[in-house]
Amino acid sequence: MLISARSHLACLGLMFSLSMLSILAMSCLPAAAQSERRAVSLQDALEAAIRNSPQVKEEQFGVMLRESQRKQADAARFAQLDLTVVGGPSPRARGNQLDSPDSKTNAEITGVFGRAIFSIIQPIYAFGKINNFRKAAAHGIAASQAAVHQKATDVAMLVYQAYYGYQLATALENLASEIGGQLSSTLAKVQRQLEAEAPGVDNIDMFKLQTFEGELNKQINDIRQGKALAATALQTLMALPPATAVEPAKTSLRPDQRDVEPLDTYLADARRLRPEFTQAREGVKAFEALVQAAKADYYPVFFVGVVGSLADATNRDRFTNPFVFDSLKDDVAAPIVGLQWHYDLGITAGKVDEAQAKLGQVQQKSALAEQGIPFQVRQAYLEMEQHRDNIEATKGGFRNGRKWLVAALSNFDLGVGEGKDVADAAVAYAKLRASYFQSVYDYNLALAKLDHVTGRDVALVKTLLPDTRSRQ
């Protein structure tokens, strides 16, 4: 009867309980404690869930990290100032370069000195090291932005599952109530006939109907549990207060009406829009640049600049002889041109090998995306077609089952039918009707999944992303 739909709700509940167990523990309060009920549209649920998702925000901070690395790489092109300022006790030095009453071997500390040492260095050529770091940072930003979009679409899929799951549970609950009302009416009539000792009615009819009623009540409890779980999942995803109960504004479950395009169109869209492809492409480019930056460490960095120092002391005379330099009293500055070259016995080679190994890892992830994503698109497309066909197959079946049930009830009311005929018709109708609702749920979710595996949902989530910078 309702077993397949009930099992799906149980799977849905298991998924949410495992993925958000710690959060759900705070949200699962008794219904009596909830003081506010809020009906939300699917669009509102998606917006709130993506805007408040810690996982999405975590990925957004990853973008900010890459942007800070880009700033560092950009700034490496410009001159850098190093300044050191020191001060301390000063040995006395009087006289001039030819004669002085003071001695270095018998210094007398009678004053203090201050000294500033500075260098301004402008890199002019680094064999592509700086430019490759800039390229790597730029591609890293693009890859991190794609990771944000991927995480946001993952959150959106959870919303679709919870939202459609609530609609499915509501449809099954209404179906169960419909069957339960008809069953109660039939049981009451059987009871009256037994009491009147009417011919053609015996206790077996009563027992069979009561057995069916007990199974129906159990499934109603399971359906309501699944419905409550779907509502709690929506509440959690939207980050609503525990006292706020949430439900879809549209509780009826109907097939999503949209035109389905050919499979080749979805395959082409996946290659163009899927965030994983973007991450793979940008990741490969980033690590290719990092490999070249690592190789640049084999060569020197050429630079120009200015170096010098400024100093003064309270107890030392200043000499004017250019061959005598007093580091505690004299000022000096000079333009320079030079190179800096670090050489080691294997460290740089190891760094190059490390960068190449990471590049290889990203290339294999790209190859995996090339293989796996087209399969995911084909699988989602086939599932969508299957559920669409199931809707048509079960639609005619449950309508005929409904006619059967009406006929069985009429025959029973006229005294020409048996109670077991009513029970059999009710079971068949409920089973096909539940299968229809399950097919509608699966079809709607399959369409959302098809958008997900092709990357079409990225355009939606981009407009819903939170602004983490404004919350710093």
| 207 and 249 housed in the same domain | yes
Which of the listed residues 340, 371, 406 is the one where a domain comes to its end?
A: 340
Measuring CA to CA, which residue among 298, 273, 295, 270 is closest to residue 359? 295
CB 135 within 8 Å of CB 107: no
| Separation between Cα atoms, residue 12 and residue 157, nearest integer Å | 12
| 305 and 290 housed in the same domain | no
Report residue 54 as tokens. Answer: 């810690």
Domain-embedded: residue 288: yes
Give the per-residue pLDDT at 34.
Answer: 43
Three-point CA angle 267, 268, 271, nearest 5°: 90
For residues 155-176, average pLDDT: 93
pTM of the predicted structure, to 2 decimals = 0.78
| 8-state DSSP, 253 | -
CB 165 within 8 Å of CB 191: no
For residues 162-169, average pLDDT: 94
Q: How would you label 318-354 residue by residue, b for 16+ Cβ within 10 Å and e otherwise?
A: ebeeeeeeeebbbeeeeeeeeeeeeeeeeebeebbee
| Separation between Cα atoms, residue 301 and residue 359, nearest integer Å | 25
| 10 and 25 housed in the same domain | yes
pLDDT at residue 261 greater than cutoff 80: yes
| 135 and 206 housed in the same domain | yes
| 34 and 181 housed in the same domain | yes
Domain-embedded: residue 472: no
| 119 and 183 housed in the same domain | no
Which of the listed residues 316, 340, 364 is the one where a domain comes to its end?
A: 340
One-letter amino acid for residue 290 of the chain: L
Per-residue pLDDT band at 118 (split at 50, 70, 90) = very high
CB 356 within 8 Å of CB 327: no
Q: Which stretches of 246-334 are DSSP H helices?
A: 263-273, 275-295
The torsion angles phi and psi of 281, rounded to 5 degrees, stand at -65, -50
Which of the listed residues 340, 361, 392 is the one where a domain comes to its end?
A: 340
Domain-embedded: residue 198: yes
Q: Which residues contact 63 (CB under 8 A, 6 or more apart)?
A: 141, 144, 145, 148
Domain-embedded: residue 269: yes
Report the mean per-residue pLDDT for the chain: 85
Q: Which residues contact 387 (CB under 8 A, 6 or more apart)?
A: 439, 442, 443, 446
Give the per-residue pLDDT at 395.
Answer: 85
Instruction: Check which CATH number belongs to the domain holding 290 and give it.
Output: 1.20.1600.10
Per-residue pLDDT band at 404 (split at 50, 70, 90) = confident
Per-residue pLDDT band at 24 (split at 50, 70, 90) = very low
| Separation between Cα atoms, residue 397 and residue 416, nearest integer Å | 25
Please give the share of the chain, as a percent, with pLDDT higher than 70: 89
For residues 281-301, average pLDDT: 94
| SS3 state at 95 | coil
| 24 and 163 housed in the same domain | yes
| 364 and 266 housed in the same domain | yes
Q: Which residues contact 53 (CB under 8 A, 6 or more apart)?
A: 151, 152, 155, 237
| Separation between Cα atoms, residue 13 and residue 162, nearest integer Å | 9
- Least confident window among 193-202, 348-357, 360-369, 444-453: 193-202
Higher pLDDT, 429 or 12: 429
| 332 and 420 housed in the same domain | no
Give the per-residue pLDDT at 69.
Answer: 93
Higher pLDDT, 133 or 343: 133
Give the per-residue pLDDT at 356.
Answer: 94
Domain-embedded: residue 415: yes
- DSSP string across 386-420: HHHHHHHHHHHHHHHHHHHHHHHHHHHHHTSS-HH
Instruction: Say how far residue 443 (Cα) sits from the centre of its chain.
Output: 24
Strands (E), 147-189: none
| 232 and 111 housed in the same domain | no
Domain-embedded: residue 168: yes
Number of domains composing the chain: 2
**Whole-number Cα distances in Å, 438 to 5, 9, 129, 220:** 6, 10, 58, 16
Tens-digit pLDDT profile for residues 49-73 = 999 999 999 999 999 999 999 999 9
Domain-embedded: residue 230: yes
Give the per-residue pLDDT at 221.
Answer: 92
| SS3 state at 202 | coil
CB 230 within 8 Å of CB 160: no
- Least confident window among 13-22, 31-40, 62-71: 13-22
- Least confident window among 150-159, 184-193, 371-380, 451-460: 184-193
CB 267 within 8 Å of CB 107: no
CB 234 within 8 Å of CB 162: yes
Q: Pairing mode, if any, of strands 109-125 and 301-313?
A: antiparallel
For residues 305-330, average pLDDT: 88
Tens-digit pLDDT profile for residues 213-226 = 888 888 889 999 99
For residues 118-143, average pLDDT: 95
Domain-embedded: residue 310: yes
Give the per-residue pLDDT at 200.
Answer: 66
Per-residue pLDDT band at 419 (split at 50, 70, 90) = low
| 236 and 308 housed in the same domain | no
Give the per-residue pLDDT at 131.
Answer: 95
Per-residue pLDDT band at 468 (split at 50, 70, 90) = low
For residues 160-166, average pLDDT: 95
The boundaries of the domain holding residue 334 are 85-99+106-125+301-340
| 429 and 318 housed in the same domain | no
For residues 141-165, average pLDDT: 95
